[in-house]
A and B are shown apart, each in its own frame.
Chain A
Amino acid sequence: MIHFLAQRLARALFVLFGVSVLTFVLIDLAPGEYFQAMRLSPQISRETVAALRIEYGLERPLPARYLRWLGSVSRGELGFSFAYNSPVWPLLRTRTGNTLILTFSALACSWLVAIPIGVMVASRAGRWQDRIFGIGTAFLQATPDVLIGLGVLALALRVRWLPTGGMYAPATSEIEGSGKMKDLVLHMVLPVLALTAGMLPVLVRHVRSAMLEVLDTPFITAARGHGIPPCRILFGYALPAAANPLISMFGLSVGALLSGSLLIEVIMSWPGVGPMLLEAILQRDPYVVVAVVLFSTLFLVAGSLLADVCLYIADPRIRVE
């Protein structure tokens, strides 16, 4: 177990290192930089801009800047944001929390809905329930995330049952405890709904196909022959046997949800890392871009690591290998 974990961790570290180098080089190749807009202003002299560039270390060669950035990572600062004039980590911390709240709620929701639907559909394969859900998932899968987000928002604006946009209502900033919690949950409904709707078709199709494969096997037929009730066969016998591909899917779905949540955050003005990344790219704030991209990688890697560990615990065959 320890050897297995160490191997995976080393790989994850290598990937994180690679991603940081990649983003660093890409951003360095980009034309234009944060101080370019300042140069156009007649009130700021050339010398000031040059001095600022030297102060922020932009005149140094790329490897030196990378090493300096690594140093700031080790201090837990993750670089320096020119636009906010502050280290990146304090800026990123609350944003990261907000994104994670959203992503994990959507993750839980989509799996909790997808498993029963997938199992139900698989148990009725070929019948009308299967057809209807097949057509439904095909349509939902063909609907781009942008459209789902905008559609959910438009619907919410029409009926006005739920608050749209942001995380808290402006007036509740003083309220503490359960009132604040309730406000947060109400604000979360729409983005979570949009994210779940985007994720659901893929998961349902996947649960269905994993279950179909298991339902064909002799031990299920034997269980049926013993007169075990169908519901127990499905959830007690077939689902655990189908768990393997689903667990690896779980790890992958973390990454898919992070991608989806970026867009939904921008559409629903959720104060997560998505809008921050967009802003940083538009402002040419390099270290914020690197930090956010690295954060997303970290969670994708952590998701697949978690899935690997779960697989290791769930499946004895992997342990032997």
Chain B
Amino acid sequence: MNHMYKKKIWFAALSLASVHVLVLGAGFFAPYDPAEQHRDAPFERPMRLHIFDSHGRFHLRPYVCTWVNEGNSLGPPRYAEDCSHTWPLRFLVREETHAPRAALGPARHLLGVDAPGRVFLLGTDDYGRDQLSRLLYGGQVSLFAGLLATGLSLGLGAILGCIAGYFGSWPDDVIMRVAEIFMALPWIYLLFALRAFLPLNLGAGQPFFLLISVIGLAGWARPSRLVRGVVLSAKQRDFVHAARGFGASNVYILRRHILPEIMGVVLTQAALLISQCILAEITLSFLGLGLGEPAPSWGNMLAGLQKYYVLENCWWMLVSGLALVPVFLLYHLLADALCAHFKAPGLSRKGRMTIEKLQVAI
């Protein structure tokens, strides 16, 4: 039985790792720069990859046609496919840049087409920016915001939980009272309250870390409480008493005996918290409180859909939201499997598992 959970954990972890690699390598995998605008091609539909041409002949190298805008300039653009000229897809194309690139940027892209042609496999947004490129670059922000914020809140939660559980008395009281206040707020409201103390407009770079710290701060209370519970029970174990009898210091006991005990809770909570933190970033960016344009994130890519005509006509603008579903499925799978594998105290019973999940959600 345990073996099966291990397999699940490996499957989820490896799939997630490959998603992250894909996103990190956006410079190579994405055909365009995320901020590169094609003003003559707003809201272009995802292009079809053709293998058979209009005469039914087979082409080994897939090609794309151009979309021609047939709508008037007032309404949303209406595109029709024009296959009078085809653009065969090229792989590992060398980039022709106008501006000098950063030294680290890769010189080649995975795919592209010859010069005047353009390839938008997932369509374009209102400025004619390639959705596929924005999806990949936006994943850098959204997925890693989740990872880093989780690291922050788990680190904080584990440290405070250890202090509260191990030392007891007044540190315990203070930490748990504050945690109670943090948990009494519905999580979006807590996020907003914490967000209120940052400047309104956040660009890229340093504000990204400010945003992460806000999301991280919103989530420390739950893990700290769970860790405290585990530490409280671990403290009573015979080997801890024995170690203390031999004159071991507090730090030694915490590191050698308590830390391994809380690993299960921490890992399980990590898998739960990461999806929560990603969701937090998406929500903030969607509402215009996260990372600002032109930096793409999976949340601000969805913000354009608040206009009804975009929502009605351009389903491809939803791609970043749709991309979240498999990512969250994998994280939930990982969390469930880790839960079952570790049988962490307080998490082992089936009924508890979902309650923890919901409590994180609150």
Contacts and interface: CB of A to CB of B under 8 A. Distances in A.
Q: A and B from one assembly?
A: yes
Interface of A: 11, 14-16, 18-19, 22-23, 26-27, 29-32, 138-139, 141-147, 150-151, 153-154, 157-158, 164, 202, 205-206, 209-210, 212-213, 245, 248-249, 252-253, 255-256, 258-260, 262-263, 266-267, 277-278, 281-282, 284, 289, 292-293, 296-297, 300-301
Contacts of A248: 355
A20 to B, nearest CB: 10
A142 B283 CA distance: 15
A180 B73 CA distance: 40
Interface string B74-106: 000000000000000000000000000000000
Looking at chain B's contact residues, is the secondary structure mostly helix, strand, loop, or mixed? Answer: helix
B212 interface: no
B358 A202 contact: yes
A293 B193 contact: yes
A174 B350 CA distance: 53
Interface in B168-227: 177-178, 180-181, 184-189, 192-200
Given A147-B324, A150-B305, A259-B187, 9 more contacts: A26-B196, A145-B283, A147-B321, A154-B318, A164-B308, A202-B357, A202-B358, A292-B189, A300-B186
B351 interface: yes
Contact of A202 (B186, B198, B325, B354): B354
A184 to B, nearest CB: 21
Given A281-B192, A281-B196, A206 B358 contact: yes
Contacts of B181: 15, 18-19, 22
A259 B324 CA distance: 19
B110 interface: no
What interface size band does chain B fall in?
A: 35 or more
A139 B325 contact: yes
B349 interface: yes
B355 A249 contact: yes
Given A209-B353, A210-B351, A301-B184, A281 B195 contact: yes
A144 B282 contact: yes
Contacts of B299: 146
Looking at chain A's contact residues, is the secondary structure mostly helix, strand, loop, or mixed? Answer: helix
A249 to B, nearest CB: 7
B311 interface: yes
Contact of B199 (A32, A210, A255, A301): A32
Contacts of B357: 202, 205
Contacts of B184: 15-16, 18-19, 297, 300-301
Given A26-B194, A30-B196, A252-B359, A19 B185 contact: yes
20 contacts: A11-B180, A16-B184, A18-B181, A26-B194, A144-B321, A144-B328, A145-B283, A147-B302, A153-B311, A157-B311, A252-B355, A252-B359, A252-B362, A262-B186, A263-B188, A278-B192, A281-B196, A292-B189, A297-B185, A300-B184
A164 B306 CA distance: 12
